[in-house]
Amino acid sequence: MGVRRACAALATSLLAWTPAAQADPQTSIGLTLGGVVRDEQGAGASGAFHLGARGDVLLFRSRNSDMAVGPYVDVATASFHDTDLGGGLGWLVPVTEDFPLLLSAGGFARDGDGRSWRPGLEGTLLVGPRSYNFHSWYGLAGGLFVQTRWLPQSPSTLDVVIGAQIDVELLALPFVFAWQSLTHSS
């Protein structure tokens, strides 16, 4: 009888056992829209429209309340006069589960305004929802951001960007619904 109880206890514990949660990478891609104060520290400061895209991968996170770090890439333009290509490292700080802070810093290169590619530094603070998706590698992200872009070469230039990031999945949903309704109508 002792062996039978031991086998039953072992079977019960094996059935109740679940593996520990894993911290799978989470990716997001967003469209960025806003305004730029170009050359903020110089005498020729001017305003411009900002349009861009940003993609990132966050690592070491297994739920909404976890911190995470990971790489990002972005592309941006100020009123279509220049092109900025950048990348760096982001750090997600869960101030609250619903609205974490995403701090990021990195480098970028700018082409435009009569100059060839010039290197610079960028820093961003994004505040907004960032879900952790337990069923997929893609997590929705969005929010409001403030970004600085500094070109150290002479003349030194500092741009300040203020705007909103909208997840591309949210932008695609109306088209997905329309396609589904056209292809699956009865």
Q: What is the pLDDT of residue 19?
A: 45
What confidence score (pLDDT) does residue 83 get? 94
Lowest-confidence region among 28-37, 115-124, 176-185: 176-185
Q: Identify the structural domains of the chain with CATH numbers, from first to last.
A: 21-183 (2.40.160)
Interior CA angle at 169 toward 97 and 143, to 5°? 40
- Interatomic CA distance for residues 98 and 129, integer angstroms: 5
> Alpha carbon of 60 to those of 63, 64, 70: distances in Å?
10, 11, 9
Above 90 in pLDDT, residue 139?
no
Place of tokens 């695609």: 172
Residue-level pLDDT at 16: 54
Quick: pLDDT tens for 67-121. 999 999 999 999 888 899 999 999 999 988 788 999 999 999 999 877 788 999 9
| Confidence band of 15 (pLDDT split at 50, 70, 90) | low
pLDDT at 130: 87
Q: For 57-72, what is the mean pLDDT?
A: 91
Region 169-180: mean pLDDT is 86
Per-residue model confidence (pLDDT) at position 7: 62
Q: Hey, CA dihedral for 171, 174, 176, 177, is it positive or negative?
A: positive
DSSP assignment of 136-170 equals: SSB--B-EEEEEEEEE-SSSPEEEEEEEEEEEHHH
Q: How far apart are CA 166 and CA 18, in angstroms?
A: 36
pTM for the complete prediction? 0.79
Q: Cβ(36)–Cβ(161) under 8 Å?
A: yes
User: What's the confidence (pLDDT) of residue 11?
Assistant: 58
Residue with tokens 């909404």: 64
* Higher pLDDT pick, 65 / 150: 150
How many whole angstroms from its chain centre is CA 177?
25
Q: Answer with the residue of higher pLDDT: 102 or 15.
A: 102
Look over the chain and give the mean of its residue pLDDT values, rounded to a whole number: 85
| pLDDT the model gives residue 18 | 45
Tell me if residue 87 falls in helix, strand or coil.
strand
